[in-house]
Amino acid sequence: MLKIGLTGGIGSGKSEVSKRLSARGAMVIDADKIAREVVERGTPGLARVVATFGDDVLRPDGSLNREKLGSLVFADSEKLAALNAIVHPLVGERVAQLQRQAADDTIMVYDVPLLVENKLAPMYDVVIVVDTADEVRISRLAEHRGMPEADAKARIAAQASREDRLAAADIVIPNEGSLDELDARVAEVWDELLRRAARG
C-alpha cells in the first residue's frame, strides 16, 4: 500500500485534485469529511464539542453550527487546539478502520488540509502539495464560497505558509491555470505514483 499525503491551503483546489486521483483509482480518505462525520448529530464527538464550547454552537435542530464554531476557534488558538484535541483522535480511529479494510496494492490518498501544520509528513510515503498563490486563493474563496476577503485572509494566515508547505512536498501540483492543465499534471503525477507503488 502506497500512502500519499495530499495537502494544500484553503482555496488551492485540493478537492479538484483529490477527485481526479479518485477517478484514476486511488482510494481517497478525506480527513475533512471524516471530521464532519465524527461530530454529526447524536455522536459522542458532538457531545464533547458542546461540553467544551457550550450549546451556542448548536443549530435549533441539534446539529453543529459550523460557522458559529469556526468564528470562535479561528480567532483563538487555544480554542482551536481544544477543538482539534476532540476531533483529531476520532478522525484517526476512523482512518485506521478504513486502512484495515483496504487491499494491499491500494494507492491510498489522504486528503489532509493541516498536514504541514500538524507535522504529519513522516506518516506518508509521498507528500503531494497543491500549490496556488495566496491572491488566487482569496479570489476563489470569494467567488466559490462567498467568503469576505478579510475572512479568507484570516483563514490563510491561520494555516502554514506557502514556503513551509512547499518545503514538505515530494511532488508539487501547481493549480493556477485551467482545469485542462490540472488534468495533465494529475495524469503525470498518477504515473509517478504507479511507478512508486510498483517498486514497493
74 within a domain of the structure (yes/no): yes
* Predicted pLDDT of residue 113: 85
200 within a domain of the structure (yes/no): no
- Which residues fall within 8 angstroms of residue 55, CB to CB, at 6 or more apart? none
Residue 9 φ/ψ, nearest 5 degrees: -70, 165
* Predicted pLDDT of residue 84: 92
- C-alpha angle 37/164/148, rounded to 5°? 60
Q: Looking at the structure, do residues 79 and 159 belong to the same domain, yes or no?
A: no
Cα–Cα distance list, 49 to 1, 76, 87 (Å): 34, 16, 9
Q: Looking at the structure, do residues 95 and 112 belong to the same domain, yes or no?
A: no
| CATH number of residue 143's parent domain | 3.40.50.300
Q: Looking at the structure, do residues 117 and 188 belong to the same domain, yes or no?
A: yes
pLDDT tens string, the chain, 200 residues long: the values are 999 999 999 999 999 999 999 999 999 998 788 999 999 999 999 999 999 999 999 999 999 999 999 999 988 999 999 999 999 899 989 988 998 999 888 999 999 888 999 999 999 999 999 999 999 999 999 998 899 999 999 989 989 999 999 999 999 999 999 999 999 999 999 999 999 998 87
**CA-CA distance, 45 to 43, in Å (whole number)?**
5
Pair 35, 91: CB distance under 8 Å? yes
Pair 69, 49: CB distance under 8 Å? yes
Q: Looking at the structure, do residues 114 and 98 belong to the same domain, yes or no?
A: no
Pair 23, 128: CB distance under 8 Å? no
Q: What's the structural domain count of the chain?
A: 2
43 within a domain of the structure (yes/no): yes
Q: Residue 81 has what DSSP assignment?
A: H
125 within a domain of the structure (yes/no): yes
Q: Which residues pair with 4 in a beta bridge?
A: 109, 126
CB atoms near residue 159 (< 10 Å): 19
Domain range for residue 158? 1-26+106-195
* Predicted pLDDT of residue 9: 92
